[in-house]
Structure 1
Amino acid sequence: MTGPRRPGPGAADGRPPARDVADAVLAAPARLGAVRLVAIDGPSGSGKSRLADALVAELAGRGRSVELVRTDYFATWDDPVDWWPHLVDGVLTPLRRGERGRYQRVVWHGGEPAPGPFVEVEVPDVLVVEGVSAARAAIVPLLSCSVWVEHPDPAERLERAVRRDGELSRAHLLAWQRFEQGWFATDGARSRADHRVFVTE
């Protein structure tokens, strides 16, 4: 497991977590057909998206084709996790067969979700799924690597999320924090993670 580090350049030992995760991913077998599947999970406002972007860049820099799917592309305030079959049917199952995936992305306007465009997902070397519930128990048999990203202070996580999503989202984000606390306690993704990244800023 990784030690206490923050996503992106400037980790405490000078080695970004994305590099460690990329090493682990490429050393692990593909379990989603010929695709290596990585899940980046953890509480909202912890820095998962930043790490996912850094991992995609790291893997692409090593000549690997990478697709990134965020759970934000499926989840809404009213449906935090039950959208999962859309990801399985539209993306995971086709990729496992070596076929292109497709899903309808949720887009956000003024803090509210709406149906967005359809997105094609080519069969990559590595698929990164990032966001709350990405490493849920149901996906474990397909994973090459799972990563847990966490900032230890719920109040700071909330402020980070508000800065990202806007002040109008604060009440929704507070409710989301309460939901995800119960979800993680039941699902156990943190204890299963291959790598844990603890954000310090």
Structure 2
Amino acid sequence: MDDPDAPGIPEGLSGLARRLRALPPSCGPVRLIGVDGHAGSGKSTFARHLAAALGGAPVIRLDDIATHDELFDWMERFRSEVLAPLSRGEAARYGVYDWVRGEFTARRESAPAHAVVVEGVGAGRRALRPYLACLLWMDLTAGHSWARGRLRDGPAQAAFWDDWIPAERAHFAADPSRPHAGLLVRACAEGYEVLPGPAEPCGTP
């Protein structure tokens, strides 16, 4: 039976957090938790809630890593700035891309905590999966996700979405994440439903 969820923690996440905390480390001392899904599927909101349920786990947003010129070709930077230091038990330090100015304008640090959440399109990519303790997939169809994203971002970002959608289609066609997800996450009216994924489920329910 799921644990009662603490105040402020959406329904379903306390038990998931307990399950993830029990996993063995996957990147040095860190349990790296990937949250992938289509753009607009609710990854960022879910990751924020999951991080709170994990006791304030750091969240690394792939929107900070990717750029206009490297929507998906950021793996080498991610490997050197995030994976390598975390695997040594050191803090990850990486540049934060400003999507308005089109350049890196800040740097961020993530400690090698017990669990670190990586969220964004491509968090379950082939090159990253060996470092993940668990891959979660936001189980919302591409069409519904993209419609939500367009509505969220408004007309000012219409041209970006016109470029993004074919790029995302090409990425997942070449390097699909959902078949490798241990758990599927579906947003509900109250909290989240967490279901076994196509791959071996992560941890013990």
Q: TM-score, normalised by structure 1?
A: 0.82
- Residue 130 of structure 1 aligns with an amino acid whose one-letter code is E
Residue 140 of structure 1: aligned partner: 129
- Residue 99 of structure 2 aligns with an amino acid whose one-letter code is W
- 8 Å contact 1:152–1:198 — kept in the other structure? no
Instruction: Give the C-alpha shift of residue 92 in structure 1.
Output: 1.1
- 8 Å contact 1:90–1:101 — kept in the other structure? yes
Is residue 112 of structure 2 the alignment partner of residue 123 of structure 1? yes
Aligned partner of residue 99 in structure 1, secondary structure: coil
- Correspondent of 1:74 among 65, 77, 85: 65
- 8 Å contact 1:46–1:199 — kept in the other structure? no
> In 2, distance between residues paired with 1:193 and 1:48?
14
> In 1, distance between residues paired with 2:61 and 2:126?
17
Residue 38 of structure 1: aligned partner: 33
Residue 86 of structure 2: aligned partner: 95
User: Which has the larger share of helix?
Assistant: 1
Question: What pairs up with 1:1-201 in 2 under 5 angstroms?
Answer: 9=10, 15-16=11-12, 18-60=13-55, 66-109=57-100, 113-152=102-141, 154=143, 156-199=144-187
Moved more, 131-140 or 72-81: 72-81
> In 2, distance between residues paired with 1:103 and 1:52?
19
- 8 Å contact 1:39–1:143 — kept in the other structure? yes
Q: TM-score, normalised by structure 2?
A: 0.80
- Residue 78 of structure 2 aligns with an amino acid whose one-letter code is L
Structure 2, unaligned stretches of length 5 or more? 1-8, 190-205
Instruction: Give the C-alpha shift of residue 57 in structure 1.
Output: 0.7
- 8 Å contact 1:38–1:146 — kept in the other structure? yes
Q: 1:136 to 1:199 in 2, by over 3 A?
A: same
